[in-house]
Structure 1
Amino acid sequence: MSNHNSLPPRSPLSSTPPTSGLQAKSGLVPTNNVTTSEGITVRARIDPTLTVADVVRQLCVNLKIKGMPSDYALRDENHELVTNDNLRKKIKARLDLKLVNSPNKEGREIAEKLRVRDQKTMRLTLYTLQRYIRENEFASGFINYDGVTQLVDIIFTSLGNTLAYALTAMQNLMELDHGWASLDEAFIFRVVQVLSSPHSLINVCRPATAILKKLVEADPSNAPGPQAGSSKNGPAIVPGSIYRYGFTMVFEQMRKEKSLLETIVNRLGSADTAMAQHSMMLINSLLSHASDARWEEFIAEMERFSLRKAVVRLMSQHTVEELTSCILDFQANMLRVTYRKKSTLVDLDAQLSHAADLNYIWEHSKLIEESDEKGQQLKWRKLGFDTEDIEFEFNDVGVLGLECLKRFVERDPDFSKVVLEQLSRPVERRCPIAKASNEVVELLSEHWAIFAPGYSTSTTFQPLFLDFYKVHALATNFFIRMWSESGAATGDFIRVVALVRSQVKVALRNENVRAWHEVERDFLECEYRAVRDRQMKELEQEDDLLSKIPVRNLRAKIFKESYEFVRQQRIQCLLQGAWFVIALPGNAPQPRDSRRPSKPWRFVRLDNSTKYLHYVDSAVKFPVRSGLEDLPDRIEIAAVSEIATGTCAPPPNVLRDHDDLPPTTPLAPSPLSFSLLSIHEEQGSLADLIAPDQSRWADWTDGLNMLRKDGGHVASKETAGFVQALTEIGLKIKLLDLSGEMVEIPSGLTAGPPPPNTDFFFSELI
């Protein structure tokens, strides 16, 4: 390569003016084209040991650029800012560079352009803003020059694509942990209005949805580090902190637009997968952050708009691959909702809705309240409860049991006839319908492991779980039928429960692939003799002790402990780090040759703050030191929207040389692959990796899912198996302590009547 007017060879940066027809010869020092804002292009050999500031300063001197060097910066051909961390990589890749305004200066100029409001250049200015606003230095200049106020004004006054660009810029700004604490309730309501309008464009709804989700998660309780103070209403808001919003503030604005929640649910059926995904993520954030004061109202609204049915429909759509993680998150959130309902006591004095549900049940039974032979009230015992203390009767199943019984009554127009038919029998032969309903709630809770809030080990879709009330109605009717066909009496209640438990296991097996009509057939057509024969065989293999209520409660406690233990183990694996193969994305074009990539390996490690994944790409594996010194690049955990699995293929000629990696067909997705999908659709995947083995794949996919604020679900059968195995081992150890002492475990405990007054004390046991 000719070297016209170049600097002395020892200079760390040499440049030549534009040349014609000259190309760099292979083997020489990498040369980059650098273009100035005036359109002048030079070829420069840059010393990779220099800082970016030194490179910019020398370019300004050599090219006689006016102004201070600190007012300039370098960007590559994709507009990415050149930093000290990526300078070496861009030099080696011989990327074309541009000498442009510094991010801080550019931020101030963009803020000034927004203030002028030139409609001819507005969209281009906003497009530039949404691209650069994620950079801290640019954002500082933009924020300090009152740019956020201008951007908010544009969001209030714009429509169409201009509004879409402005909202996207705000969405990107909100990835930073500063700069947007000035957003007020009026702004939130504006976003709510935009989102609730059926005429809003999809490219407007996407960022608007993401903004609401971010505001919901910006709760004071989520603020990093120690809080400045606290109050009876929760953590205090630190002055200037972005963690000043949360569910309550957002939901107050959402309530002003009655159609918003219904619109969000309807958008789950959108043909645009990204729109459905954004809506699903917003719903998950609302579910996981709902405040105690508004929780019941919010859940009732979601139920009213048939949210569960919308998600079940989503499970069967062809675009479900992109939504798998969101749906599993939703299932985990619904498990929390179900557990909370089950553990919330029925309170007729404090909750008018509880009294209304009970009145509905009683009125549709068409029974008349009477007195028994002792002159006591005879009302709820007619429906099959043991006592007239209705709040006590729902102690074990809570509000969930009450809602299930009400839905059961709603679904059966002949409910009153069923009740009268039982009352026409001798007392000892009557099926206790209400008590049976509560027991079915317990059986379904056991089947779906509704043991504790926030712990879900399901790795597949559970459409039947999302149809809990419908399954409950089927199983309760099955209970009543088994009672009649077996000729059961009062003392046979536990025996019939065992029959129903056996049938629940059979009917709800493989629910992710079974059709609903098959489930119905199992409950409606299966004969008593067949169920009894199967259940007797099961009894030969099982211990009746495990079905007792105290043992169920013990299992729930151990399950929670086991889940947390496995979760911490998975996160520890991330903190230690691991080597992966850098995969080809699923939509990557087929390579024209089979040459091995120059750097096919990547070591990834989670930092101690659990906010970033630090990594390094390499041609070969090498011993990585502890800490982050060997890992120059990083990915922000908050920027990951989903951990997609089985999405990418291995590069050519990498895996076949390593016995520790499974063989796979080139360009066929590897079962050990996973991708970190960006919250920004245009960025696609932030990383595509292939794990060396099944164990490492489970460690990382589940560990990353458990780190996400709106996650918490388990993606691999291996992790789910560990949790279940630890639970069973722990349970058996605990039971050995009891059985060794020959302690009799009752099927249930009945609390005696409360003391008539407070004139008592607890004696000390000696």
Structure 2
Amino acid sequence: MDNISDLVARLGSDEDSVRKMAVFKLQSAIGDPSFADMFISEGGLPKLRFLCLQATGNTLAYSLTSLSRLLELDMGWDHISQEIIERAVELVVTQPLVNILRGAMSILVAIVSHPHTGASLVGSFGFQALKPAVALYPQFMEMLVARLSSADHALCANSLQLINALMRDAVTNDLEGEWPKFIKKLQDLGVIRAVYMLMQSTAIHDLAHPLLEFQSLTKLMLRKWRDIKVDMETADHRRALRSLYVASSASKSGGDDSTLGSKKAPPDRWRRLGFETESPAWEFENTGFLGMMDLTDFVQKYEDTYQKLLLEQSTKPLQQRCPITRASLAVTSTLYEHFEVDKSDNEDSQRYTLLDSRTNFEKAFKPLLLHWSRLHTAGLNAYLRLWKTTGAEADDFEKVEELVRILVEQVVGEASRTKDIAEVEEELAEFEYQKLRELQMELLELTYEDAWGHHLRQVREELNHEALQFVKEQRIRCLLQGAWFPHSIGYGSENGPVTKANLNRNVPSAWRYVKLSHNRRFLHYADYEGRAEKEPGLDDLNNKIDLSAVSSVVSNVSASPPSTSSSSSTIKTTVPAQTSTKITVHGYIPSSHKDSSVSQGDKEMVLLQLNPQSHTLASEWLDGLLMLLNQQPITADTNKLVNLIGSYGLKIRLLNVRFEDVGLEEPVLPTRDGVDEDYYYDIGGMDAGA
């Protein structure tokens, strides 16, 4: 107690050096509640107040810091008067010293943030308490925003904390509805740009808390604007609607803006602007006044573009016109959902306290949120572009809206903290439609995978099986159709059924024609000196191979073996040693063709060799033969076709089913009951028919 009494006594010393040392020690000790309580009981608060009002230099800086820390302990409020507030505001405007500015701002933050129920000499808290002082120093808000560009990070943090306190008080405690004017004044002074630059700077670690609070306050304002219902009886709302009508050049053809709502107004004046009906107020139900603000902001900034769009749409059939107003409101809703504006305004601060990695830290900040208006404009332009690219019609509105939602998630959602808004606008304007569709299908599969689980896997397995059967039938039909293969003049035992009569014999032929029998049991072929214009019939092919005698197929068509194989598999593939493509069929010679003097047992021999002219023909015949023998295809072309058809069928089914159709309950899946192997596919709809 003696030390505190001595400290209080020295605060009232006539010597500045004594006061400076005393208040220097005070600023460190007064953060202890028990010390602060003793300090007040010893009569130290009036002396501290006097120093805050009269001192200069470091003595003033230490005094302001001590008083702000006392207020943080919720003590000393009975000595906070209008005089103290005016002194703090004056220092913010006129004082160049950083340490003095920090203390002054900290005191103002405490005053603005103090609960309104507290009793004090001020009589009011929040921004109302500052208004008389700000009236004396009108540069206050301008200087406060200017401090955000200071090289001193602590001063930037103090400035932003005070701005946050003023914004929160204005938005939550303004009973007169003047908060939008206050927010607009801050925006006009450049607060958005200043905070945006801080959020992208390397100083973000020092400013994390106030920056996240500003981000939360931005969401709070967006939510508050969204909650304001558009009402035609409200002057501001009616004025905003009138501005849309006037900007559309409707007044040039339908009279001045006094015709709005009168009998002289065109009967389709609102639908022409992209509304669904002639009663536009209800269409803002989901977006509230926020949707109105976004729309009018776009129209005011890009009036010529707006007029050209309306004129362009008016020349199209009614079904093909893009409803610009509805598109604008859809983009507002998309951005609102993307930034999760409805979540608690304290969530960002809570999340910051739990950050445990640099990656999460970076993701916590959403600087692009501060450029809401520019994102809305870019999103609306993207919607219009996609509408035109896809040739959409009125019934496709929600489909284009979904594409825009995916576009925003991809471009805005994946943007790094330091990515500039101009780059994001450029990406939104140039993102390829085809890539967007691919993303849509990937997301669709993931969504239904999560929702349906094993049901979707079952559908996928069924579709893959059906795709394999379809490709099998296609490949076998290639064999049924027949094909010409170039044939070397000199050949040995690898070029056909081997007997003593033809072993090592030169056959003067250049082409071989091969065709599968209708019953799919025999492979017929014959050699010709030239390729005939008319394809030979089965009766003209004097050689045939019983497929039941085929043991394996060897080929250099594919250098990659099947993904799965077993030791008992009869599929053989070899890495090609030359550029020529070969398909060799191995099997067992029927006993009637065997030399009775030679006991060959079950020895495998060459039955047929084919030399396909193209990779496609090689894939068709190699996999056709394998699948005819109930073996798996091995070429990349065939496997790609199977996957493509299976994936295509899955996507068609997903696009034709919505969550609301099944209520997220166990869906009724299509079956193959009653369908045998004799079926065909309609590729357009991927429906199987018997």
Q: Which range, TM-score by smaller chain? A: 0.5 to 0.7
Q: Distance in 2 between matches of 1:741 and 1:537?
A: 22
CA-to-aligned-CA distance 1:650-708 (integer Å, 9 cap, x gap): xxxxxxxxxxxxxxxxxxxxxxxxxxxxxxxxxxxxxxxxxxxxxxxxxxxxxxxxxxx
Match of 1:270 in 2: 150
Match of 1:203 in 2: 99
Q: Pick the structure with greater CA Rg.
A: 2
Match of 2:184 in 1: 300
CA gap 1:739/1:373 in 2 versus in 1, 3 angstroms: farther
> Is residue 2:138 matched to residue 1:258?
yes
Of 310, 316, 329, 1:438 maps to 329
TM-score by length of 2: 0.57
Would you say the 8 A contact 2:226–2:287 is kept in 1?
A: yes
Q: Distance in 2 between matches of 1:356 and 1:311?
A: 31
**Higher helix proportion (structure 1 or 2):** 2
1:322 deviates by 1.3
Matches within 5 A, 1:616-765: 738-740=663-665
> Is residue 2:228 matched to residue 1:344?
yes
Match of 1:704 in 2: none
The one-letter code matched in structure 2 to 1:403 is M
1:472 deviates by 0.9
Match of 2:539 in 1: none
Match of 1:407 in 2: 297
1:264 deviates by 1.9
Match of 1:219 in 2: 115
Structure 1 SS opposite 2:276: coil
Of 299, 311, 318, 1:420 maps to 311
CA gap 1:430/1:253 in 2 versus in 1, 3 angstroms: farther
1:470 deviates by 0.7
Moved more, 423-432 or 454-463: 454-463
Match of 1:174 in 2: 71
1:200 deviates by 2.9
CA gap 1:490/1:253 in 2 versus in 1, 3 angstroms: farther
> Is residue 2:280 matched to residue 1:379?
no
CA gap 1:430/1:246 in 2 versus in 1, 3 angstroms: same
Matches within 5 A, 1:25-64: none
> Is residue 2:125 matched to residue 1:249?
no
CA gap 1:437/1:456 in 2 versus in 1, 3 angstroms: farther
Of 266, 273, 284, 2:164 maps to 284
1:493 deviates by 0.8
Between the aligned residues of both structures, percent identity stands at: 29
CA-to-aligned-CA distance 1:602-645 (integer Å, 9 cap, x gap): xxxxxxxxxxxxxxxxxxxxxxxxxxxxxxxxxxxxxxxxxxxx
Structure 2 SS opposite 1:439: helix
Structure 2 SS opposite 1:414: helix
Structure 2 SS opposite 1:331: helix
Would you say the 8 A contact 2:19–2:59 is kept in 1?
A: yes
> Is residue 2:365 matched to residue 1:461?
yes
> Is residue 2:9 matched to residue 1:109?
yes
The one-letter code matched in structure 2 to 1:217 is S
Q: Distance in 2 between matches of 1:737 and 1:183?
A: 64
Moved more, 381-390 or 514-523: 514-523
The one-letter code matched in structure 2 to 1:466 is L
1:128 deviates by 3.5
CA-to-aligned-CA distance 1:446-493 (integer Å, 9 cap, x gap): 111122442546742212122111111101001111112222221111
1:434 deviates by 1.0
CA gap 1:136/1:477 in 2 versus in 1, 3 angstroms: closer
TM-score by length of 1: 0.51
CA gap 1:422/1:316 in 2 versus in 1, 3 angstroms: same
Q: Distance in 1 between matches of 2:183 and 2:77?
A: 29
Q: Distance in 1 between matches of 2:11 and 2:233?
A: 57
Q: Distance in 2 between matches of 1:286 and 1:407?
A: 25
Q: Distance in 1 between matches of 2:421 and 2:266?
A: 45
1:183 deviates by 1.0
CA gap 1:252/1:434 in 2 versus in 1, 3 angstroms: farther
> Is residue 2:24 matched to residue 1:127?
yes
1:502 deviates by 1.8
Matches within 5 A, 1:5-24: none
Structure 1 SS opposite 2:364: coil
Would you say the 8 A contact 1:139–1:173 is kept in 2?
A: yes
The one-letter code matched in structure 2 to 1:485 is T
Would you say the 8 A contact 2:68–2:107 is kept in 1?
A: yes
CA gap 1:376/1:209 in 2 versus in 1, 3 angstroms: same
The one-letter code matched in structure 2 to 1:521 is E
The one-letter code matched in structure 2 to 1:445 is Y
Aligned CA RMSD, in angstroms, stands at: 3.5
> Is residue 2:301 matched to residue 1:396?
no
> Is residue 2:424 matched to residue 1:519?
yes
Q: Distance in 1 between matches of 2:265 and 2:294?
A: 31
1:740 deviates by 4.9
Moved more, 467-476 or 407-416: 407-416
Match of 1:323 in 2: 207
Q: Distance in 2 between matches of 1:436 and 1:110?
A: 70
Unaligned runs of 5+ in 1: 1-70, 72-100, 221-235, 547-733, 743-766
Structure 1 SS opposite 2:230: coil
Of 34, 57, 63, 1:160 maps to 57
Q: Distance in 1 between matches of 2:50 and 2:137?
A: 21
1:542 deviates by 3.2
Would you say the 8 A contact 1:479–1:500 is kept in 2?
A: yes
CA gap 1:510/1:240 in 2 versus in 1, 3 angstroms: same
Of 350, 374, 387, 1:483 maps to 387
Structure 2 SS opposite 1:512: coil
Would you say the 8 A contact 2:12–2:19 is kept in 1?
A: no
CA gap 1:741/1:511 in 2 versus in 1, 3 angstroms: closer
Matches within 5 A, 1:572-591: none
Q: Distance in 1 between matches of 2:264 and 2:69?
A: 72
Unaligned runs of 5+ in 2: 352-362, 452-658, 668-690
